Structure 1
Amino acid sequence: MSKKAINQVKVLIGIFLLTMGLSGTKVFAADEQGKKSNVGVSAVIPDNQIDKEKTYFDLLMKPGQEQELEVNLSNSSDEDLTVEVTANSAFTNDNGVIDYSPVKLDPDPTLKYPFSTISETTKEVLVPAKSKAVAKIKINMPAESYTGVIAGGIHVTEKDKADKTEEGGGGVQIKNKFVYVVGVQLRTEESLEGLKGDLELDKKKIIPTQVNYRNYLGINLQNTQPVYIRDLEVDAKIYRGNSEEVLHQTKTQNMKMAPNSNFNFGVDWENKPFQGGNYKAVVTAKSIDYGEEWSWTEEFTIDADLAKKLNEKAVELDDDNTQLIIMIGIGLGVLLLIIIILIIVLNNRKQEKKRKARNARKKKSSSSKSGSSKSSSSRKSRK
């Protein structure tokens, strides 16, 4: 795939993510020229819809019930289109956004019934030119009553179609693709009263990582309850060892979490290199919609070898010369001390030599005077 094609797909996915959510509005993806997609997607709302005003699926079902959902697909273009349809469990991505993409992700350990395992879809649907088609999704509810929400999404996207570019040498490109998600909420009890999201932090999952080749510290937060958290604030402060000075801090608001899901809250390392050693994380989280607050203080270690590997991959890394400056300072201090000691020693030796020379001169002078005195006495005696 060419870089141009990759960028086109990224633009569309970005537009989709900005507009996606459990929203009842129709969403059309635009191409890079701003044109709307020729495909329309809408849910066929069944009788057991809890809120008929919603245009995503919000269904009250019985334990063990089987039900077939329908999604209308329309194609206003002049050529047939094949769309791919998948039923995916809701999860929370590392941006703190509820996501329904068809990614290979292990379900959270607290998720008892992933939507992807209780639903089946027709993988591909042909939508004729200037016509409509229906995608069908079969739901098999668990046999036991379930308190809370089973959350998922019906992910609709155009099947990849590779075309040769006409402007020579361009190779094979992928056409712009639309992406659309119809949200699904399933429950066997209409009332969710008394259920609140609850967060846990696993200190074993505080690990250095990278986002777009930039250093971040990942702090795993887990919503252990079968309900959404729709307005989450997290403030994380990182300290080095026993220092009281904040090394790095990241505070983020307006995040959301899917039921029974987890994500890695990223603390920006501000383009600084990771350094092996002991650290401390002080984290507070607030669920505005439930009025709940959590706090944790956890010690963790960054492995020096892992830090080195990540630093080698990092881009736009600011070299942290603090340790080098300290080492140079220590070295210069030691060198200065050695020079001072040498000066003192040499000066002492010089003074010692001078003292010895003076003593020698005094001794010689004294000897000369003594000899002269003896000679004078001898002359007097001969007389």
Structure 2
Amino acid sequence: MRKFWKWMLVLGSLLGGLLLGVPVAHAQGVGYSILPLRPTNQQNRKVTYYDVHVKPGQRQQIAVVIKNTQSQPQRLQVQVNQAVTDSAGVIDYSQAHPELDPTLQVNMPKLFSQPNQTVTVPADGSKEITLGYQVPTTPFKGQLLGGLYIKQTQPGKRTNKGRIAIRNLYAYDVSILMQEGASVNADLHMHRVGVSQDNQHRLVYANLQNAQPGIMRSLSTKTTVTPMGSTKIVLSQNKPVQMAPNSNFNYQLPWGNTILKPGKYTLHMTARNGQHEWFFVKNFTVTQKETQSLTPANPRAKHSLWLYILLAIIIALLLATIAYLLYRNHKNQQSQA
């Protein structure tokens, strides 16, 4: 009987680990902080990012202080990246080599003499980093937008037990906004529309382009998909997005569990940004080949559901076995009395 309970305890522990998940490592703290130093030509001194008024051909530097709060030196990568718009409709400064929009006239990293460098900050110390740049001699309209992106470079270290200790690598980004004169009017375009897949999620996408050198900070969108020639809505979404100057991205409308059959459809979108409003209507076709090539939505969720059902059955059988053994043991004790 003791052996039985021993095996039950071991099996119960294994099942508990499967159901609850066993953490094998703990994430450490950020380990450092940054302080952007405002230059003399900072326009808005209330913001924490670089908002500089520049002149054609001007040479200048921006500076940032990195403070290391760890008891060992840290190697950090400091880079200037062009601002783009990611697939979630958010301005992204983290990409070192993004795909640039054809309307972009000035690539911000090219203005800097050292747009990518690795620095070492001493233990429990700080270091000031300066980055020099030169404004194009030809005047530009609107806004140039990039970002100072600072990230840790140390990978996880091997522990004494031979396992890898998982450590998060933390990053900071600070906007760099340059402007010479007046702002420009917003100009939004919609290009190709179709179906696609991202991270095993089926979706309808619409490529949106901000064709002017101006930031679209609060762009509200209302999107529906109908069969062509019908008013029946098969997909819909209301979503706020942001767009970097002279950038484009694939606006994503999740397909989810809706069965979008092969056929012809129409995407309708209304987009508003302050005083500006745009209306788009685009027809697109979903082919039989496309529907077959797209995996079902959330296949992992289905796998997880079957796993939980299997574990529930195993636990139920174990409980039934334990109840039967306890009942039989009780009967044996009564017969021996």
Please indicate, yes or no, whether the TM-score normalized by the shorter chain is above 0.5: yes
Q: CA deviation at 1:89?
A: 0.8
Q: Does 1:297 align with 2:281?
A: yes
Which whole-Å CA distance do the structure 2 matches of 1:316 and 1:178 have between them? Answer: 28
Q: CA deviation at 1:186?
A: 0.7
SS in 2 for 1:182: strand
Identity of aligned residues (%): 26
Query: Residues 211-268 of structure 1: CA distance to partner in whole angstroms, max 9, x if unpaired?
Result: 3311111111111111111111111111123232111111113x21111111221112
More moved, 267-276 vs 209-218: 267-276
1:82 touches 1:158 (CA, 8 Å); kept in 2? Answer: yes
Partner of 1:199: 188
CA distance in 1, matches of 2:219, 2:104: 20
- 2 CA distance for matches of 1:264 and 1:292? 21
Matched, 1:65 2:58: yes
List alignment gaps of at least 5 residues for structure 1: 1-7, 9-30, 319-383
Which protein is bigger by CA-based radius of gyration?
1
Amino acid at match of 1:310: L
Letter in 1 for 2:147: G
Aligned to 2:178: 186
Calculate the TM-score normalised by the size of structure 1.
0.67
- Does residue 52 of the first structure (1) align with residue 40 of the second (2)? no
Per the alignment, residue 155 of structure 1 pairs with: 149
| Aligned CA distance change for structure 1 residues 263 and 167 (closer, same or farther; 3 Å) | same
TM-score, scaled to structure 2: 0.76
Seen in structure 2, the aligned counterparts of structure 1 residues 276 and 148 have a Cα distance that, compared at 3 Å, is: same
In structure 2, do the counterparts of structure 1 residues 103 and 304 end up closer, same or farther at CA, with 3 Å as the change threshold?
A: farther
Distance 1:223 1:299, change over 3 A: same
Aligned with 1:108 (options 89, 94, 101): 101
Displacement of 1:274 in angstroms is 4.5
Question: What displacement does 1:44 show?
Answer: 1.6
Of the candidates 279, 294, 301, which is equivalent to residue 310 of structure 1?
A: 294
Letter paired with 2:175 = G
Match of 1:266 in 2: 252
2:10 aligns with none
Aligned counterpart for 1:278 among listed residues 232, 243, 264: 264
Partner secondary structure for residue 293 of structure 2: helix
Letter in 2 for 1:199: L
Provide the rounded CA distance (Å) in 2 between the counterparts of 1:225 and 1:61: 19
Corresponding letter in the other structure for 2:283: E
Cα RMSD after superposing both structures: 2.4
Distance 1:313 1:269, change over 3 A: closer
Q: 2: CA distance between counterparts of 1:95 and 1:279?
A: 23
Q: Give deviations 1:83-138, integer Å, cap 9, x for gaps.
A: 00111111111212111012532111111112122223351000010111122222
Matches within 5 A, 1:67-82: 67-82=60-75
Query: How many residue pairs end up in the alignment?
Result: 278
The structure-2 alpha-carbon separation of the partners of 1:271 and 1:137, relative to structure 1 and needing over 3 Å to count, comes to farther
Inter-CA distance 261–277: structure 2 relative to 1 (3 Å threshold): same
